[in-house]
């Protein structure tokens, strides 16, 4: 009777291990949405915790088998001991595989969250560029004011490539594993298109501002020359007035 009871416990535990392997380790998983990936992470965490809780039962079965073997005739030893060894090996392998897969999926989820974080940071920077380009679209003023706007735009454009490189590497890591590949490719295409368009527009705006500065400088120079000329004429006319010189006497100046 005791042998039957022990074999029943061993069999039930074997069944649970087999079921857990089929449920969490043998199936082919596809993660096409973040929700699916997050759900899989949570499921594996629960499975790992459940497996760890089974350690108590495995220990009880082990103690029961060993106690029985210590008292039972040698003929009953070998088969039970072999079944127990198989159970312990299967259980340890299950725990190891669950821990490994859970750790892998947690790293994948962290990788996805990190990718989103970098994309968010870069898109905020691109939004700043958009605002700056709008602010310099029809800028009015002299060479100094336009030059300040150009400097401000150039400072904003001196943005390190680190974040973009991280986005590329994280996306490659995930898509190589077939994880969220469609969603990631869609996000990257949108981001890269926006990045390229704003970069090109910024380069065009920089050239335009440089030309505006040059035109403003030429205008300032012309105005300065006119002002200097007017000052000379004003001084001459003032002198004529002081000397009571009549306009008829200086027809060229009168004109």
Segment 9-59, tens digit of pLDDT: 999 999 999 999 998 888 767 788 999 999 999 999 999 999 999 999 999
Cβ-count burial of 102 within 10 angstroms (0-12 exposed, 13-18 middle, 19+ buried)? buried
What tens digit of pLDDT does each residue of 134-147 get? 988 888 778 888 89
Mean pLDDT of the chain: 90
For residue 251, pLDDT beyond 80: no
Label residue 255 by pLDDT band (50, 70, 90).
low
Q: What angle do CA 28, 33, 35 make, to 5 degrees?
A: 95
Domain boundaries, the chain: 2-211
Inter-CA distances, 71 with 8, 74, 220, 231, Å? 19, 9, 110, 124
The second-level CATH assignment, the architecture, of 2-211 is Up-down Bundle (1.20)
To which H or E segment does residue 30 belong?
A: none
| 174, 239, 255 from 234: Cα distances, Å | 77, 8, 14
Find which of 30-39, 74-83, 95-104, 138-147 is predicted with most confidence, using mean pLDDT: 95-104
Enter the tokens of residue 95: 């725990």
């Amino acid at each position: 009777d005791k042998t039957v009871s022990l074999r029943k416990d061993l069999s039930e535990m074997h069944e649970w291990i087999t079921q857990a392997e089929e449920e969490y380790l043998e199936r082919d998983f596809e993660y096409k949405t973040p929700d699916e990936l997050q759900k899989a992470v949570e499921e594996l965490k629960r499975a790992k915790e459940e497996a760890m809780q089974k350690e108590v039962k495995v220990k009880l079965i082990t103690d029961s088998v060993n106690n029985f073997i210590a008292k039972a005739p040698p003929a009953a030893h070998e088969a039970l001991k072999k079944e127990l060894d198989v159970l312990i090996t299967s259980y340890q392998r299950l725990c190891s595989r669950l821990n490994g897969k859970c750790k892998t999926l947690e790293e994948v989820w962290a990788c996805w969250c990190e990718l989103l974080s970098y994309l968010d940071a870069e898109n905020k920077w691109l939004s700043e560029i958009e605002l700056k380009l709008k602010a310099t679209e029809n800028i009015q003023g002299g060479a100094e004011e336009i030059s300040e706007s150009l400097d401000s735009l150039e400072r904003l454009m001196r943005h390190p490539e680190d974040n973009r490189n991280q986005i590329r590497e994280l996306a490659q890591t995930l898509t190589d594993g077939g994880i969220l590949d469609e969603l990631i490719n869609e996000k990257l295409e949108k981001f890269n298109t926006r990045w390229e368009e704003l970069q090109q527009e910024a380069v065009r705006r920089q050239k335009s501002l440089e030309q505006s500065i040059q035109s403003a400088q030429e205008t300032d120079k012309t105005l300065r020359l006119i002002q200097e000329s007017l000052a000379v004429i004003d001084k001459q006319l003032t002198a004529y007035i002081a000397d009571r010189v009549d306009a008829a006497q200086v027809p060229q100046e009168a004109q």
